[in-house]
Amino acid sequence: MRRVLILGGTAEARALAAELSGELSGELSGGGVHVVSSLAGRVSNPRLPVGEVREGGFGGADGLAAWLAAERIDALVDATHPFAARMTASAAEAAARTGVPLLVLRRPGWREGPGDTWRRVPSLHAAAAQLDGPVRVFLTTGRRSLPVFTGLAGVWLLARSVDPPEPPVPDNVHVVLDRGPYTVEGERALIREHRLDVLVTKDSGGPMTTAKLVAARELGLPVIMVDRPPLPGGIRLVETVAEAAAWAQG
Ligand code: NAP
pLDDT of residue 29: 46
Q: Give 10-residue mean pLDDT values along the chain (250 residues).
A: 96 96 59 90 92 97 98 98 98 98 98 97 98 96 96 96 94 96 98 98 96 98 98 96 96
CB distance 124 to 146 below 8 Å: no
Q: How far apart are CA 162 and CA 174, in angstroms?
A: 14
Q: Please list the residues that pair with 160 across neighbouring strands.
A: 176
DSSP state of 143: G
Distance (angstroms) between ligand 1 centre and the Cα of 211 equals 24
Ligand 1 atom with the shortest distance to the CA of 81: 34
pTM: 0.94
pLDDT of residue 44: 86
The CATH 3.40.50.720 domain(s) of the chain lie at 2-108+229-248
Q: How far apart are CA 105 and CA 214, in angstroms?
A: 25
Ligand 1 atom with the shortest distance to the CA of 80: 34
Give me the CATH topology for the region 2-108+229-248.
Answer: Rossmann fold (3.40.50)
pLDDT of residue 30: 46
Please tell me if the CB atom of residue 179 comes closer than 6 angstroms to any atom of ligand 1.
Answer: no
- Atom 37, ligand 1: residue with shortest CA distance: 81
pLDDT of residue 126: 98
- Atom 16, ligand 1: residue with shortest CA distance: 40
Query: In terms of Cα–Cα distance, which of 10, 16, 18 is closest to 75?
Result: 16
Please tell me if the CB atom of residue 14 comes closer than 6 angstroms to any atom of ligand 1.
Answer: no
- Residue 5 amino acid letter: L
Instruction: Please state, as a whole number, how many other Cβ atoms lie within 10 Å of the Cβ of residue 16.
Output: 26
pLDDT of residue 91: 98
pLDDT of residue 28: 47
CB distance 90 to 209 below 8 Å: no
pLDDT of residue 23: 65
Tell me if the domain spanning 118-226 has CATH number 3.30.43.10.
no
The CATH 3.40.50.2000 domain(s) of the chain lie at 118-226
